[in-house]
Amino acid sequence: MMEKSFVMMKPDTIQRRLMGKVLSRFEEKGLQIVAVKMMHISPGLAQEHYGEHCERPFFNDLVEYITSSAVLAMVIQGDDCISMIRKMVGATNPKEADLGTIRGDYALDTGRNIIHASDSPQSAEREIALFFQDSEICDYSMPDSDLIY
């Protein structure tokens, strides 16, 4: 089923100039980038986005990290892409993430783990609506889609 996922490169990715490499992985897989926005997240938006973790001991550090500098928010589209993107991202703790995943290849620390990706269709819908208006999501056809699907 065609799905949309919310994906966000965290501040460390931009600071370390890894945006292009990370973006290329999704393009090379055949996924379609349908929205991109560079932005500073406000503390309120960060708290809402990560609301499920509000009672966790790392919550304040997480909000501080994610609001510390610019992030790149994206919507990525593809067949069953939500679970596929989670596989490409790898485990939350980069030390446990398989090599070949984004976190496994580019990160060492859970607190600086490069990228966020929606973990379910419900999360994707909620997160896309938090960060993007419908009019900011671009519907366009790709000439190579017959080769990918």
Residues taking part in catalysis = 116
Contact string 83-112 vs ligand RTP (x = CB under 6 A): ---------x-----------------xx-
Q: Nearest-CA neighbor of 32 among 146, 140, 106?
A: 140
Residue 117, beta-bridge partner list: 7
Task: Select from 39, 51, 58, 95 the one that contacts ligand RTP (CB under 6 A).
Answer: 58
Distance CA 3, CA 124 (A): 9
Distance CA 49, CA 90 (A): 20
What are the phi and psi torsion angles at 42 (to 5°)? -75, 160
CB 44, min distance to ligand RTP, A: 17
110 belongs to an annotated ligand binding site: no
CB 78, min distance to ligand RTP, A: 18
Task: Select from 13, 32, 101, 113 the one that contacts ligand RTP (CB under 6 A).
Answer: 113
The total number of residues written for the chain in this structure = 149
Residue 111, beta-bridge partner list: none
CA angle 84, 89, 91 (to 5 degrees): 110
Contact string 15-54 vs ligand RTP (x = CB under 6 A): --------------------------------------x-
Question: Applying CB under 6 A, which residues contact ligand RTP?
Answer: 53, 58, 62, 92, 110-111, 113, 116-117, 119
